[in-house]
């Protein structure tokens, strides 16, 4: 199936998914969000894909919701749009899809990531950004509240004070600051961004995919779990990992002093 505003390329176990409306800084229209959801679901089911790399074409990751999208327009009667429908159908669905993927998702953020664009990047498992990247909770500038999981993720990533600062002021946080604050995993030189992100994605694609999926599930569950319930969850996940081909291979490789060849099973 051909997608217009999102590109997909699968190589070496990595699905590179590129937001592709560079003239609009990869701002999301409803059809574009639909394309991205469909692509993520497709790669989720493709056993040849063991890691997803999400990035943007041109000088942005994404400027968030396309403000010229008809779904955003006020009606002739002066009534505001039902933004809740867009949030539910596009951004909530996207964040749920990314969090539900049982393979790692890496975001490579070059340039601006604003509004829902910023929060979609932050919803990925590992975020690498160029030094001149700009993370902007732009919502407040147009009288909206952070969405796409922002109000959940921000305080957990950077703490309450910085989350409030970002959400209420809408100032840009650059790549270096984002790394220093723990908003993202790593900041790299702009020119090195895509190569570094690809290398990371390739190495994850050669790793123990099931262990990554289990870690993702446990880390996500930890925010709402008691320590007791989390310990039980870890036991159950580890029990399953103990019976996996990758655990067998990992231990064999360690014993034989050779690099492991993980199959992802
Ligand atoms: O349905 C719902 O609304 C609910 C969901 C909401 C989720 C959200 O994401 S709300 C937040 C929406 N995003 C924004 O408010 C960001 C708006 N954009 C900006 O503030 C700035 O463009 C940036 C800070 C992102 C980048 O600034 P700069 O100076 O680097 O670039 P620019 O010149 O402003 O933009 C370049 C072009 O992209 C320009 O088009 P033109 O004039 O060259 O034809 C600009 O209009 C376009 N563009 C940028 N962002 C958007 C956009 N077009 C449509 N929608 C955008 N969000």
Ordered DSSP codes for 51-115: EEEEEESTTEEE-SB-TTSGGGPPPTTSPPP-HHHHIIIIIIHHHHHHHH-SS-EEEEE-SEEET
Using CA atoms, how far residue 8 sits from 35, 36, 47, 205, in Å, is: 10, 10, 15, 16
Location of structure tokens 């067998």: 248
Can you give the CATH number for the domain in which 223 is found?
1.10.12
Share of the chain above pLDDT 70, in %: 100
The reply to whether 30 and 151 lie within a common domain is yes
Q: How many CB atoms lie within 10 A of CB 98?
A: 22
Do 59 and 28 reside in the same domain of the chain?
Answer: yes
Ligand 1, atom 50, residue with closest C-alpha: 63
Residue 71: the pLDDT is 78
132 & 223 share domain? no
Whether 86 and 160 map to the same domain: the answer is yes
Q: Enter the tokens of residue 163.
A: 């989350």
This model's pTM is above 0.85: yes
Which range marks the domain in which residue 252 is found? 209-256
Q: Is the torsion defined by CA of 91, 97, 100, 106 positive or negative?
A: negative
Q: Is 140 in the pocket of ligand 1 (CB under 6 A)?
A: no
Regarding the beta carbon of 112 and ligand 1, being less than 6 Å apart is answered: yes
pLDDT digits (tens, 9 = 90+) for 149-170: 999 999 999 999 999 999 999 9
Q: What's the domain count of the chain?
A: 2
Residue 54 has pLDDT above 90, yes or no: yes
Ligand 1 proximity of 139 Cβ (cutoff 6 Å): yes
In a domain, 90, yes or no: yes
pLDDT digits (tens, 9 = 90+) for 6-45: 999 999 999 999 999 999 999 999 999 999 999 999 999 9
132 and 239, same domain (yes or no): no
Q: Do 201 and 213 belong together in one domain? A: no
Residue 226 in 3-state DSSP? coil
Q: Given 205, 227, 246, which residue is the final one in a domain?
A: 205
Tell me the mean pLDDT in the region 99-127: 98
Q: Is residue 174 in a domain?
A: yes
Judge if 122 and 187 occupy the same domain. Answer: yes
Q: 175 and 73 in one domain?
A: yes
Q: Write the CATH number for 15.
A: 3.90.226.10
Cross-strand pairs, 130: 188
Helix (H, G, I), strand (E, B) or coil at 170: coil
User: Could you tell me if 44 and 146 lie in one domain?
Assistant: yes
Pocket test of ligand 1: the residue of 61, 114, 148 to mutate, having most ligand atoms within 8 Å of its CB, is 114
- Dihedral angle of Cα 153, 155, 203, 54, to the nearest 10 degrees: 40
Q: What are phi and psi of 135, to 5 degrees?
A: -95, 120
Residues 118 and 241 in one domain: no
How far is 190 from 70, CA to CA, in rounded Å? 34
Same domain as 147, residue 16? yes
- For 184-240, the pLDDT digits (tens) are 999 999 999 999 999 999 999 999 999 999 999 999 999 999 999 999 999 999 999
Separation between Cα atoms, residue 225 and residue 236, nearest integer Å: 15
Residues 265, 246 contacting (CB under 8 angstroms) = yes
């Amino acid at each position: 199936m051909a997608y217009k505003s999102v590109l997909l390329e699968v190589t070496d176990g990595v699905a590179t998914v590129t937001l592709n409306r560079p003239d609009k800084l990869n701002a999301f229209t409803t059809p574009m969000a639909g394309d991205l959801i469909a692509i993520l679901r497709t790669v989720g089911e493709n056993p040849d894909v063991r890691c997803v790399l999400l990035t943007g074409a041109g000088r942005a990751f994404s400027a968030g919701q396309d403000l010229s999208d008809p779904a955003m327009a006020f009606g002739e009667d002066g009534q505001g749009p039902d933004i809740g429908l867009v949030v539910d159908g596009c951004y909530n669905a996207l964040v749920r899809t990314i969090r539900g993927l049982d393979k790692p998702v890496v975001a490579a953020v070059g340039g601006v990531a604003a509004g829902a664009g910023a929060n979609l990047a932050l919803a990925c498992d590992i975020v690498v950004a160029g030094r001149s990247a700009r993370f902007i909770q732009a919502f407040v500038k147009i009288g909206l509240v952070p969405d796409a999981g922002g109000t959940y993720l921000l305080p957990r990533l950077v703490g309450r004070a910085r989350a409030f600062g970002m959400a209420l002021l809408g100032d840009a946080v650059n790549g270096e600051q984002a790394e220093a604050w723990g908003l993202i995993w790593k900041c790299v030189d702009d020119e090195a961004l895509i190569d570094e992100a690809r290398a990371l994605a390739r190495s994850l694609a050669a790793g123990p995919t099931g262990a990554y999926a289990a870690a993702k599930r446990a880390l996500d569950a930890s925010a709402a779990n008691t320590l007791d319930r989390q310990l039980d969850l870890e036991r159950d996940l580890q029990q399953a990992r103990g019976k996996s081909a990758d655990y067998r291979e990992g231990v064999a490789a360690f014993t034989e002093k050779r690099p492991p060849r993980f199959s992802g099973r």
